[in-house]
Structure 1
Amino acid sequence: MKNTMIVAALASLLVCGPALAAETAQQSKMKTCNADAAGKTGDERKAFMKECLSAKPAKAATPQERMKACNAQATGKTGDERKAFMKECLSNKAGS
């Protein structure tokens, strides 16, 4: 009888586990949006929260997109200055 209860409890954790993780992410997003909405009231707050909570995370830039952006920023630089700038810019994972 004890083994059956333990197996049932573990099975319910396996089924509910992903849902609990998603809920935690949503709660985190809600906390962040609430903090960002400080000072807003009424319709302004409602509109802000709707936009904030529906926003998707920013997509990471591809290597080609980073190269294009860095090349554009390096306009006017030459030689070692350009080489150093490109190295620094391309190592930035956020895509500057």
Structure 2
Amino acid sequence: MKITLLVTLLFGLVLMTTVGAAEKTLTPQQQKMTLCNEQASSKALKGDARKSFMSECLKKDSAKAEEKTLTPQQKKMQACNAEAGQKALKGEDRNKFMSTCLKKNG
């Protein structure tokens, strides 16, 4: 009985230690939120002004991150997709255009 209790307590202790360590690592979104929150606090913003600032701060950072993460192929795909949209292509015509567009220059 005592051994079972001791093993259970040790297992619980190990589990709590790993959970605590995992919680201390902040995700990029949490880091962004912390940074924006500190900036809003330093400016002494309250109410709607704070909400507005936080929204813009988080959007601004995520837009920069999205731009940085696009590969050349993704940029090419966006350009071809936009051109196909301007030409109002649908179905098989769109598929053919996208295939040809993506094969150009590469």
TM-score where L is the length of structure 1: 0.39
TM-score where L is the length of structure 2: 0.37
Q: Which has the higher contact order (CA 8 A, sep 6+)?
A: 1
Structure (1 or 2) with the greater helix fraction: 2
Larger Rg: 2
